């Protein structure tokens, strides 16, 4: 069953479990350094459409940049 992540806060709440699962799969943990969203999806999580860009920005950018405008990196 796919677990849904609908916001940055929800993703942060699940972070410990996600990291724990990544740590037992070394190749996936290394891949997460390059593409964390894809690695998280590989674990069986799915991102809600409206939260996807916000979460992607928060994973890739500094908090002050990512918080400035949702989807800032997409434009």
pTM score > 0.85 for this model? no
User: What are φ and ψ of residue 62, in 5° steps?
Assistant: -65, 145
Q: Is the dihedral of CA 17, 1, 56, 27 positive or negative?
A: positive
Pairing mode, strands 3-5 and 45-47: parallel
Q: Six-digit token pair at 51? A: 């939260």
Instruction: Give me the tens of pLDDT residue by residue for the chain, a chain 75 residues long.
Output: 689 999 999 999 999 999 999 999 999 999 999 999 999 999 999 999 999 999 999 988 877 776 665 555 554
Q: What is the pLDDT of residue 75?
A: 47
């Amino acid at each position: 069953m796919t677990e849904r992540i609908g916001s940055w806060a929800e993703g942060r709440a699940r972070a410990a479990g996600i990291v724990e699962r990544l740590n037992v799969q070394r190749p996936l943990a290394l891949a997460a350094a390059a593409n964390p969203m894809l690695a998280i999806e590989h674990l069986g999580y799915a991102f809600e459409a409206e939260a996807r860009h916000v979460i992607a920005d928060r994973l890739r950018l500094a908090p002050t940049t990512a918080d400035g405008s949702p989807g800032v990196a997409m434009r």
